Copies of this chain bind each other. A is one copy, B any other.
Amino acid sequence: MSATIKQVAKQAGVSIATVSYVLNGTGTVTEATRQRVLAVVSDLGYQPSHAARSLRGRSYTLGLALPAQPGRLADPTLAEMLASLSDTAAACDYSLLLATARADKSASEMCLSLARTGQVDGLVLLDMQTDDERAQALCEAGIPHVCAGPPARCNSPFVTADGYSAAILAVRHLLQLGHRRIGLIQLPSELAESEPRYLGYSTALAEAGVEADPQLVVEAGRGEQDGFQTMQELLSLPEPPTAVLACSDELAFGAMHALYDAGRTVGQDISLIGFDDVPLAAHMHPPLTTLRQPRRRMGEQLATLLIDIIEKRQPKTNHVTLPMRLMVRKTTARVQ
């Protein structure tokens, strides 16, 4: 690998301990020796071994517990959150380990394993499911972790975007435009994000005195393909919706595709709102009205919260809920 502390010590004519003290700023060392040691260090290009270092104490590595599904990393929402998580972690001198669940182990086993082997000091749980085993397992084992989304049955710390209020915002916007038959294309119900969005949807309808038609609420998958199909179903209803709220931009894109195929003009004949505001949303034709998720801030919060917990700093709060913003573009219009 590279030079060891022993070689540095020898060449600088001091003991190993002294080198360590110089490098860590602990202990008391004369300026002269300090300089001599530092010179040798940069001369040899010495870097302390990560393994030896983490053998005593922490590994300064955070685990990213990815969902079992193989392609999930490709989710643009997730990716941007990761990017800022990574930046924040790096700024605090932590590395990030991608923890993909293997077929032969359950997701929670893999999390436990990572922590027990000391490969990571704590974990970020991404893509929370409603009955997520991971959070509970980590809670019981007393392993530091943060959930990206509301956790299931335990009070794990978490960071989440306020999907409930966001859905209310969206539906109110549609109501103001005169819509009464408002459809909802939901994400798979096993996703923890799904429930609050539905709740917001029905709350907003109820407060406006509009009766909710269960036919207008459909659960879909996660891809454009699913949005495409689901929108087709909604259109084939005897009394189709005049506006639709899709629970992700991907679903909304699929829905737009279906609407074009059906000869409908989005933002005229029918209104559509997405969820997330992925970069592409503003560049669709027409640009998609959607709810912006503060992805970068979520990543930051996840990282700092987890690091606080690992380093035993008592964080102010155990759970952060960030507001979403309605980005009004061209896919919503007054009902005809």
Contact = CB atoms under 8 A, between A and B. Distances in A.
Contacts of A71: 80, 83
Most chain B CB within 10 A, of A82, A98, A224, is at A98
A47 interface: yes
Contact of A117 (B47, B89, B113, B117): B47
Most chain B CB within 10 A, of A48, A52, A280, is at A280
What does DSSP make chain A's interface, helix, strand, loop or mixed?
Answer: helix
Contacts of A51: 51-55, 59, 118
A136 B80 CA distance: 29
A119 interface: yes
B79 A74 contact: yes
B280 A253 contact: yes
A117 B95 CA distance: 13
A98 B97 contact: yes
A22 interface: no
B280 A260 contact: no
15 contacts: A2-B118, A50-B59, A50-B118, A50-B119, A55-B55, A72-B83, A73-B83, A74-B80, A89-B100, A90-B100, A95-B98, A223-B279, A225-B283, A228-B283, A280-B280
Interface in A214-269: 223-225, 228, 250, 253-254, 256-257, 260
A87 interface: yes
Given A279-B223, A280-B224, A285-B285, A86 B102 contact: no
Interface string A162-198: 0000000000000000000000000000000000000
